[in-house]
Structure formats: structure tokens, C-alpha cells
Amino acid sequence: MVTGYCVKCKEKGVELSAPEIHQTAKGGYMAKGKHATCGTTVCAMMSKDNADKAISDGATKSF
């Protein structure tokens, strides 16, 4: 699963629903999804290893 920081709940490690993995202009990776509980969009920076793992776990590849 993909987790990130929810600015609305001010909570770390929240689970993202329907995460999409994007690649940034600098070549990094970013997960974008919604906090499963409150529906706020949550973004999380991730390493290539974590991006690959998230995709193999079912996240949408968006690059």
C-alpha cells in the first residue's frame, strides 16, 4: 500500500486510495491519491524502488 501525509488530518502514514504513481521533472517519483478516510488528495515522494513496489502492488502507473 501507498502511504503519505494528509494535510487535513495532520496525520502521517495515511493510506492512499487508488494511488497513481507519477514521475517528477527531476526524475523522482511521486504517489498521488486520496486519503481513504477523508477524501483529501495526498501526495508522497518516493524512491524508484518504492514506486516499482507500489505499482506491482496495484497502484496506477502514470508515466
Q: Which parts of this chain interact with Zn ion (CB under 5 A)?
A: 6, 8-9, 35, 38, 40
Nearer to Zn ion, 32 or 35 (CB): 35
**CA distances (Å), origin 60, targets 21, 27, 30, 32, 41:** 6, 18, 12, 10, 15
Of 5 and 52, nearer to Zn ion (C-beta) is 5
Residues ≥6 apart with Cβ < 8 Å to 24: 30
Give min distance, CB of 48 to Zn ion, in A: 27
Nearest distance from residue 17's CB to Zn ion, in Å? 11
Query: Measured from the CB atom, is 45 or 47 closer to Zn ion?
Result: 45
